[in-house]
Amino acid sequence: LWFLVARRTVEAPWARLAILLAATSPAWLIASSTLTSHTSTTLFLSAALWAGLRAGDEDGDTAHDVLFFAAYCAAFWIRPTSTLGAGVGLLPLWAWGVWRTGRLGGNLVAAGAVVAAGAGLFLAVSHLLYGSVTGSGYGRYIAYALSNHGRFSTYDDRTQTFVFSLEHARTMAAASFLRIDEAFFGWPVGLVFLPFARRSAAVWGWLVGGVLVHAFVMDVGVETLGPLHHLELFTPVLLLTVDGAERLAKTRLPTVLAIIGSGAALALLVSWPVRTAVLARSARSLAPLFELTRPLDDALVFAPWPIYCNERFQPTVNLTLARPANRPSLDGRVVWANHLSVEADRRLWRTHFPERRAFVFTWSDPVRCEARLLDLAGDVGSLGDGSVGGDGYLEPAYR
């Protein structure tokens, strides 16, 4: 898709450069190795961009219109905010293309049918999951965290999900571009070619819209995988980069080749080793959790919050805060629970899971990430109470 879209504005060698940059991008490849939703959203938005361009061609037809809105709706299902930002560029692209070719009237029927079906399903599922057609996963999570006084959560009643301030928005936009500048290609000046790209208002609209819709969010996002709120912007940044590089190369080819070559070398020698080392260290720090619990069967394991052994993982922070999630049926090989206190843990075990063996997972040496499992049926020594986060208060029934 990236090659096909790039070929709309640049020659084949520069479109191939887009594939090379994507294949060596630290942020994109690391995100692609996870189960995060950004990569699938980017796929659908890129498909919508291609379909929108084809819909505006002389030989464009209704199939391209249907594909455009189906892909856009699919992206909205996955990450609504990012998709709204992309729509700043994509929706006018489609409308202008079909109007210019004289097909707008008839195509609105097909577009309306796809949007109505997608919106109807989205609202119905939202109502089933969250009890409201305007509900969302994040909204439900935050509402539950607040009702639970912020315990075992990163949210409490002091948390501002959105900060409607121009100063805050300016700071978030600047931080976003700084992260994108380094993380997407691993270069210290990854956006150097963007000022020379002039051709696609749709792609520029996607980029600017994606930054603006997140400008009032309380933070700039997790950095472990890259600029997490903005990974979908990899497509417009990639396309604008090769477009700008081609335009600049017409007059300064040696300069362009030097920038690309030195940037690739810096990515290989600096960005990739540092970023992968941090990820490896974070992953290894949780290895004892799975090594100790792997042999267990029909067990109940109480774990601390946050779950990581040591939060000082320079130059970033281990962001695995919570224990593994349980199945809704609570019939897994291991059922996980939050460690409150020895007395509270034993009470929950004997009341609700008496048929299971019960353990407390704890870090014996948090700095070296050495761990142990303590059998609740025996002596657990001087094990202290667990951290609950939030306001730190537990009702007497849970103490």
Return the domain boundaries, the chain.
2-275, 287-398
Span between the terminal Cα atoms of the chain, in Å = 56
What is the DSSP code string of 163-201? ---HHHHHHHHHHHHHHHHHHTTS-TTTTTTGGG--S-H
In the prediction, which pLDDT does 156 show? 67
In the prediction, which pLDDT does 222 show? 67
In the prediction, which pLDDT does 399 show? 53
Helices (H) and strands (E) in the chain, counts: 14, 4
User: Model confidence over 191-217: pLDDT tens digits?
Assistant: 999 999 987 889 999 999 998 888 877
User: Model confidence over 228-239: pLDDT tens digits?
Assistant: 788 899 999 999
User: Model confidence over 86-126: pLDDT tens digits?
Assistant: 999 999 999 998 888 887 776 788 888 999 999 999 999 99
* pLDDT surpasses 80 at 165: no
**Does residue 300 or residue 150 have the better pLDDT?**
300
* Helix, coil or strand: residue 333: coil
Specify the pTM.
0.86
Nearest to 347 by CA among 384, 396, 281, 389: 396
The two three-digit tokens of residue 252, written as one number: 């300064």
Q: Which amino acid is at 286?
A: L
In the prediction, which pLDDT does 149 show? 80
- Stretch 129-148: mean pLDDT: 83
**Does residue 149 or residue 156 have the better pLDDT?**
149
Q: Round to whole Å and give the CA distance between 280 and 24.
A: 18
pLDDT-based confidence at residue 317 (cuts at 50, 70, 90): low
Q: Which amino acid is at 49?
A: L
Average per-residue pLDDT for the chain: 86
CB-based contacts of 348, cutoff 8 Å, min separation 6: 337
Highest mean pLDDT among 172-181, 267-276, 338-347: 338-347
Q: Which amino acid is at 88?
A: V
Quick one: how far is CA 108 from the chain centroid?
33
- Stretch 63-70: mean pLDDT: 93
What is the DSSP code string of 4-59? HHHTTTS-HHHHHHHHHHHHT-HHHHHHHTS--SHHHHHHHHHHHHHHHHHHTSTT
CB-based contacts of 189, cutoff 8 Å, min separation 6: 181, 259, 263
- Stretch 140-147: mean pLDDT: 82
User: Model confidence over 12-42: pLDDT tens digits?
Assistant: 899 999 999 998 888 888 888 877 889 999 9
In the prediction, which pLDDT does 44 show? 96
Nearest to 163 by CA among 206, 209, 220: 220
In the prediction, which pLDDT does 34 show? 79
Q: Round to whole Å and give the CA distance between 67 and 92.
A: 16
Q: Please give the share of the chain, as a percent, with pLDDT higher than 70.
A: 91
* pLDDT surpasses 60 at 315: no
In the prediction, which pLDDT does 342 show? 92
| Spatial contact of 279 and 30, defined as CB atoms under 8 Å apart | yes
3-state helix, strand, coil in the chain (%, to 5): 60, 5, 35
* pLDDT surpasses 70 at 311: no
In the prediction, which pLDDT does 246 show? 93
Q: Please give the share of the chain, as a percent, with pLDDT higher than 90.
A: 42
In the prediction, which pLDDT does 215 show? 80
User: Model confidence over 212-225: pLDDT tens digits?
Assistant: 888 877 776 666 77
- What element of type H or E holds 352? helix 342-352
| Spatial contact of 190 and 182, defined as CB atoms under 8 Å apart | yes
Q: Round to whole Å and give the CA distance between 119 and 139.
A: 19
* Helix, coil or strand: residue 119: helix
In the prediction, which pLDDT does 83 show? 94
pLDDT-based confidence at residue 186 (cuts at 50, 70, 90): confident
- Stretch 149-174: mean pLDDT: 76
